[in-house]
Amino acid sequence: MHKTIMALAFVVITTFASAEPIEQRIAPCLACHGEKGQSETENTPSLGAQQAPYALIQLFMFREKLRVFEPMNEMAKALTDEDLRLFSDFIAKMPKPVPPGENGEPARMQRGQALVQQHRCDSCHNPDLSGKENVPRIANQREDYLARTLGEYKDNSRHGYDASMADVMAPISPEQIADLAYFIARMR
C-alpha cells in the first residue's frame, strides 16, 4: 500500500511539473480523495467544498513538512505558491460531501450533537459545520478521518497552523471523540 502511494506520488510530481490544465493535474489527487468531492478511501479526507484558505494552509504545511504525512509531503514538495492557490481554489469549488444514505443511530447522534454544542464547534466551524476561512468544513467528512484527526489534535501529534484545536480537544475523551466523529459524518 505504502509503495503504491509513493509510486503514485512520483507520477503526480512529474505530472505537476507540466503545464496541463488543473483538471488533469488534480486527477491523481482525486484518485484517493474522490472525484466528486467525496472520498471512498479509508482515512483519506473528502475535499469537496473545503474552505479555500484552509486547504491552502494544509497544502502549504504539507509542502513545508509542518504537517507530516509522507505521501502528501512528497506530493506537495514540488508545488509552487501559485500551484497551492490553484489547487485549493479548485478544491473549494468541488461539490460538498453528502451524508451516508442511512440515518445514524439516534442515541449516538444525540450524544454527538450535544458534544458539538457543549464544545462550541459551531462557533468557529459555523452552525452547519461548513467552516469559514482558515477553519475547515467538517460536515459529512469521513468518520474514520474525523476520529483520527481529533485524536491527533488531542495528543498534539497534529499541531495545526495555530494551536487552538489542541486546546479545544484537551478535555474531550476518546469515547466522546468517537461520538463526535459519528455525528459529524452523518449530520444532515
Partner 1 sequence: MISYLSVPRSLLLSGAFFTALTLSAAAQQSAEPPAAAQQPPAQLPAAGAPPAGTAASPSLPPGSPLLGRPAGSDAAAKLAPIAPPPIPAAPDKLPTAKLKVPAGFNIEVYAAGMANARSLAVGDKGTVFVGSRLVDKVYAIVNKDGKREVKVLASGLYRPNGVAFKDGTLYIAELSKVSKIEEVEDNLDNPPKPTVIFDKLPKDEAHGWKFIGIGPDNKLYVPVGQPGNNVLHDDDHGLIRRMNLDGSGAEVIARGVRNTVGFDWHPETKQLYFTDNGRDWMSEDVPEDELNRMTQVGDHFGAPFCLQGNIVDPEFGWGKSCSEYTAPVGLLGPHSAALGMRFYTGNMFPKAYKNVAIIARHGSWNRSKKVGGDVVIAKLNKDGTMKSLEPFITGFLEDNKYNGRPVDVLPMKDGSLLVSDDYNGAVYRITYGKQKMAGK
- Pattern 3-42, binding to partner 1, x per CB under 8 A? ----------------------------------------
- Is 166 a binding residue for partner 1 by CB under 8 A? The answer is yes
Angle, vertex CA 84, rays to CA 4 and CA 88, nearest 5: 90
Of 72, 84, 147, 185, the one binding partner 1 by CB under 8 A: 84
Binding of partner 1 by 75 (CB under 8 A): no
- Minimum gap (Å) between residue 57 Cβ and partner 1: 5
What is the identity of the amino acid at 115?
A: L
Give alpha helix (H) positions in the chain.
2-16, 22-33, 52-63, 70-76, 81-93, 106-118, 121-125, 143-154, 164-169, 174-186
Q: Does 123 bind partner 1 (CB under 8 A)?
A: yes
Question: Alpha-carbon distance 131 to 141, whole Å?
Answer: 12
Exactly one of 118, 128, 157, 188 binds partner 1 (CB under 8 A); that residue is 118
The contacts of residue 159 (CB under 8 Å, 6+ apart) are 66, 67, 166
Binding site for partner 1 (CB under 8 A): 53, 56-57, 60-61, 64, 66, 81, 84-85, 118-120, 123-124, 133-134, 161-164, 166-168, 170-171
